[in-house]
Structure 1
Amino acid sequence: MTNVVFTFRNREIGADTYRRNTFRCLRTLICKGNREFTKVWTRSSNKAWQYESGRILSDNYKVCHFGYGRDNIPRQMYKLPKTDTGKTEDALIYRCFHDNFTEFENRPCLVTLQSARKGESICFYDLDTGQLLKDIFLSQLVKFKYLSWIDPNRRFVVKSVSSSPERSIRFQRITGNLMTSSIVMAVFDAFPLTFVGMFEVDKRVFGPGIISASLSHGMLFVMYGKGIIRFFSFEYINEHYKLYDHDLDSPRMCSNGIVLEGLPMNIKITECPPVLFEVQCLHHDVKIGGHPWHCIFSPMGQRGVFQVASLKDKLKAQNGTLVDDTVDLEQDWCQFHPDNSGRILYMATASGSIRVLEIKELSETSGKYEIVENQVLDHRPPKQERLMMTSSGRTVKRSQSQDEISYETDVIIHNIDYEDDLDLTWTSATQLRPEPSNMVCFYDNQSNALLRKIRLDMRESCDIDYENNTCFDLDTIVHFVKPTIGKFICNLYRLSGDLNQGPAEKISSTSGTSADTCRSDRNRQDVRRSRRERR
């Protein structure tokens, strides 16, 4: 079984249709076969764990576990040496699917943002050996803190924190220019590795009241006070305000003839670019997606209320206000489906269910849209009647108070994501009643039908106060738990099983097969097998 999965992994070439057909057999084993997910590895650490591209990273990205060793336990690929000069601020993994290029450019890399006394650097490490492949010094004048993808595996950005007065004075003394920016960003193309440009979000250009800014999907998001967000095109900024190109291997000269280390500020925005879209929302939280483009946001002062509006004219869709009247301590959330189908996922924590919604046009000429419910992914266990015995011996239903109805939660949903190779939508949740347990549910991505429900063997993580996070990748489930401050637990589950076992547990949308029934089926098969052996 392990060799088959490992062969499947090696055949990845980046073409979605090819990979979808290749993993169809693995999807059958997970959802309909006689295989179970078994815990094969558990570790604890005083630092947070990360999981990306099949690799488990620990100790602030310094230790990497990957692959299949003995008993399906992942092997330690490398351990980066510890340095006293700085630390890893942020990191991401670059996966390359190109062929017939140089050895370095065709390697998957761990890209880290390293801080030191003189400034920050971007370091590229080989994912298999931990060897340092390239080191790019950014700047000794700007304090960079964050590293993220603009477009996954194609373009990434390094973002700074707000400039301190000391750095502003130092910047002006060396360069002769006044630094009045809130955020500085440096943009790179991942393949081939190219420096696109560095620019500053200047308050004199973009206006006062800037709180933060970010780059994603080719757009610059600038956040202001009172929940205002403005969207700008980065391609427009790059074309109109870029002064010159800079090669990563060439030195740069300052205006007074001093050779400076690091990268230049080669994009100078002199006037405010055209605003593509502006919205005022709660916590500066806006999600963009759908077909055609729509956005999801919560109006100011309305926690737990979500509105779906067209990105073109800000016109709210019919039935576009999503709200759950049930009071609950956990916060509801709403997002676009991660499979890029344009569907909407709305989860009300009090009900323990996820509503799958679609955006549909009212008529071909109206240009107006409505929100239609497609399916409900219900995680709640079957309700049990609340009975009590009276003094006379009669059994009656016990009434519930309003507080019990409002604050009673049977299940807490932690994650919902899409596995593109298997074409499965999966969720992870903690079920509190009738028996505490952690579970992972697999749904068909087209029909939203529940295919299988898996209970993870870790009851100590079922506390409602614990932080839980789950990752699912083909035959692997990784479960992270934070029970207390400074303690992080990682549990690894692999798809395994005996070919002589009975069929897997079949889950319907209403009730599941009990463990006693499955156990009796296996016992009957063992009896039949022993009879055949006697004959």
Structure 2
Amino acid sequence: MGPAQKPNVCRQLSRRALGFFSRDAGVVQRTNLGILRALVCQESTKFKNVWTTHSKSPIAYERGRIYFDNYRCCVSSVASEPRKLYEMPKCSKSEKIEDALLWECPVGEILPNPSDYKSSLIALTAHNWLFRISATTGKVLEKIYLASYCKFRYLSWDTPQEVIAVKSAQNKGSVLARQAGIQQPVLLYLAVFHVLPFSLIGILEINKKIFGNVTDATLSHGILIVMYSSGLVRLYSFQAITEQFMQQKLDLGCACRWGGTAGTVGEAPFGIPCNIKITDTPPLLFEVSSLENAFQIGGHPWHYIITPNKKKQKGVFHICALKDNSLNENLPTVTASGRVVKRTFNLLDDDPEQETFKIVDYEDELGLLSVVAVTQIDAEGKAHLDFHCNEYGTLLKSIPLVESWDVTYSHEVYFDRDLVLHIEQKPSRVFSCYVYQMVCDPGEEETTNRSCEKETNLNIILNSDNHSSDC
């Protein structure tokens, strides 16, 4: 069974205008995405580097928005020219945003304020404040003071768009304490919240007296994942831990007395006390040993994927059944779509001119597999982004990237509908951002100064207040 016949875009647009599709919004959305996929993959479509910028601070991208200067400045990537959405007031280094997550309105829930139905940026600052910021205006909508007894640094979703986990930096102890051989029993803290409206679940401490010589811990889908230097990974139920070891239920904005001190939960200087302290080893759900603690779980029935815990096994993956840890052998060699699954083999070839794959991602809305391939020619690398049909694996489109690609630098590439964005980190913390947009006019002339003009425009926007392009 081969690929289906390519859809005729003009025919689909005509049928949509005449109302031939179902009134179901999902059907219309899938039809629109099918039209967009056909436009992206057709031969006459080009992706042009419409603007480029550089910064001395990290650059982040999220759903059509590019963030500069530690999320202080937000620029829209949708327009053909850079358009600043907002720029928050300057702040000291101690108040800068350390990490952020984009929150979008849940479906089917009644929210207390009209502003809650619009996208928000949940941001963690260097001085332990948790902000909810409007994604369109940069206005601070809510703020929570976390604590003073540790330094919170990382944000992640426990349950996407529903529950967040705020992780502290690891407690290394003072230099004198380490020299004296005194170990800090608490490795780190995890603060867990329901989002919109914000409500506190609790702050949990990860204590070495309970978990042993643990090196890291995180929270994902209600599971506390604890990791060890030996490669051991242990899983515990976070719900069971909160039910058994929560010392006191705390509510944001309510008065509280804790350890002889009174204050309001979530307000400075009181903050949020650590109200989940494990005093005994909780029930173990599962444990496994894997190289570099790499562990993935999913499927039906449940299976997990690990790399055997030996350095020579790097690049080897085992798929095992969760119920009995048995290795899943005799896997099917043909997928449901008819694609043959081939076994890997080692290619002993160090030729730098051989093409290598650097980044592989999946664009779920368009059903396209995107692959960044790099060829090193002399001292310069050239890259191109390839789109493959996810169902059959066939190459549908190849987009050359005009900038050189140094394999020793850190790179991120995003393909988002009609946009390709490349973020590069060079030595000495110099960050570059290259924006490509879809152009469907094959007769449009390529002008060499267009990208330079867009770069100049962006620098004018970002430097409108006469400061360097750290924004």
Q: For this structure pair, what is the TM-score category when the shorter chain's length is used for normalisation?
A: 0.7 to 0.9
Matched ranges for 1:129-144 at <5 A: 129-144=137-152
Would you say the 8 A contact 1:20–1:423 is kept in 2?
Answer: no
SS where residue 201 of structure 1 aligns? strand
Q: 1:74 corresponds to which residue?
A: 82
TM-score (norm 1): 0.68
The answer as to 2:471 corresponding to 1:466 is: no
Partner residue in 2 for 1:363? none
Alignment size in residue pairs? 404
The correspondence of residues 142-221 of structure 1 with structure 2, limited to 5 A, is 142-163=150-171, 165=173, 180-206=185-211, 208-221=212-225
Q: Quick one: structure 1 residues 410 and 455, their matched pair in 2 at CA, closer, same or farther if it must change by over 3 Å?
A: same
Give, as a single letter, the amino acid of the residue that structure 2 aligns with 1:239. E
Q: What amino acid is the match of 2:209?
A: R
1:59-96: CA deviation from partner (whole Å, max 9, x where unpaired): 11111111544xx1231111122212432221111122
Q: Which residue of 2 aligns with 1:239?
A: 243
Secondary structure at the counterpart of residue 448 of structure 1: coil
The match for 1:41 is 51
Cα distance in 1 for residues equivalent to 2:334 and 2:253: 50
- Alpha-carbon deviations, 1:101-155, whole Å to 9, x = none? 3223222111111122xxx110111111111111100001122111111122111
Structure having the higher Rg: 1
Distance in 1, Cα, partners of 2:208 & 2:407: 43
Does the 8 A contact of 1:375 with 1:448 survive in 2?
A: no
CA separation in 2, counterparts of 1:17 and 1:243?
A: 49
Q: 1:407 to 1:238 in 2, by over 3 A?
A: farther
Cα offset, 1:272, TM superposition: 1.9
* CA–CA separation in structure 1 for the residues paired with 2:384 and 2:400: 4
1:251 correspondence with 2:194 = no
Partner of 1:324: none
Secondary structure class of the residue paired with 2:325:
coil
How far apart are the structure 2 equivalents of 1:184 and 1:228? 20
2:278 matched to which residue of 1?
A: 269
Whole-angstrom CA distance in 2 between matches of 1:123 and 1:139? 14
1:188 alignment partner AA: F
State how 1:345-364 maps to structure 2 within 5 Å. none
Residues 151 and 377 of structure 1, relative CA distance in 2, 3 Å threshold = farther
Q: Is the 8 A contact 1:45 1:488 kept in 2?
A: yes
User: Which secondary structure state, in structure 2, belongs to the residue aligned with residue 492 of structure 1?
Assistant: strand
- Percent of aligned positions that are identical: 32
Say whether 1:448 aligns with 2:393: yes
How far the C-alpha of 1:412 sits from its partner, in A, is 2.7
Structure 2 CA distance for partners of 1:472 and 1:138, relative to 1, 3 Å: same
Q: Is the 8 A contact 2:167 2:189 kept in 1?
A: yes
In structure 1, list runs of 5 or more residues that go unmatched.
Answer: 5-13, 170-178, 321-342, 344-355, 360-371, 379-402, 502-535
What is the aligned partner in structure 1 of residue 317 from structure 2? 306
Residue 262 of structure 1: how far off its partner (Å): 0.8
Aligned to 2:5: none
Distance 1:295 1:407 in 2: 35
Q: In structure 2, which of residues 228, 234, 239 is the aligned counterpart of residue 230 of structure 1?
A: 234
AA paired with 2:145? F
The range that moved more, 121-130 or 295-304, is: 295-304
| Larger relative contact order (CA 8 Å, sep ≥ 6) | 2
Q: 1:404 to 1:312 in 2, by over 3 A?
A: closer
SS in 1 for 2:240: helix
Counterpart of 1:437 in structure 2: which amino acid?
K
Distance change (3 Å), C-alpha of 1:292 and 1:285: same
Residues 278-289 of structure 1 mapped to structure 2, 5 A cutoff? 278-289=287-298
Contact 2:381 2:407 in 1 (8 A): no
Q: Does 1:486 find its partner at 2:420?
A: no
Cα pair distance change 1:424/1:204, threshold 3 Å: same
Give the Cα–Cα distance (whole angstroms) in 1 for the partners of residues 343 and 438 of structure 2.
24
* Bigger mean CA offset, 30-39 vs 427-436: 427-436
For residue 373 of structure 1, report the CA deviation from its aligned partner: 8.0
Q: What amino acid is aligned across from residue 455 of structure 1 in structure 2?
A: P
Look up the match of 1:385.
none
Q: Please state how far the C-alpha of 1:257 moved relative to its aligned partner.
A: 4.7
User: Which of the numbers 395, 414, 419 marks the counterpart of 1:476?
Assistant: 419
Rounded Cα–Cα distance in structure 1 between residues aligned with 2:68 and 2:334: 37
The CA deviation string for residues 315-359 of structure 1, in whole angstroms up to 9 with x for no partner, is: 112168xxxxxxxxxxxxxxxxxxxxxx9xxxxxxxxxxxx9979
Indicate if the aligned counterparts of 1:308 and 1:316 stay in contact, CA closer than 8 A: yes
**1:366 maps to which residue?**
none
- Partner residue in 2 for 1:405: 349
Q: Is 1:457 aligned with 2:467?
A: no
SS at 1:191 equivalent:
coil
Where does structure 2 lack aligned partners over 5 or more consecutive residues?
Answer: 1-12, 14-23, 178-183, 264-268, 445-471
Compared CA separation, residues 270 and 466, structure 1 to 2 (3 A): closer
Residue correspondence of structure 1 range 19-168 to structure 2 within 5 A: 19-32=29-42, 34-69=44-79, 72-84=80-92, 85-98=94-107, 101=111, 102-116=113-127, 120-163=128-171, 165=173
SS in structure 2 opposite 1:305?
Answer: coil
> What is the Cα deviation at residue 499 of structure 1?
6.2
Q: Is the 8 A contact 2:77 2:435 kept in 1?
A: no
Q: Is the 8 A contact 2:248 2:275 kept in 1?
A: yes
TM-score norm. by structure 2 comes to 0.77
Aligned to 1:426: 370
Q: CA RMSD in A?
A: 3.4
- Measure, in 2, the Cα distance between the counterparts of 1:441 and 1:287: 27
Conservation of the 8 A alpha-carbon contact between 1:19 and 1:421:
no
Q: CA deviation at 1:229?
A: 0.9
The 8 Å contact of residues 66 and 77 in structure 2, kept in 1 or not, is answered as: no
Corresponding residue number in structure 1 for 2:462: none
**Whole-Å separation in 1 of the counterparts to 2:168 and 2:422:** 31
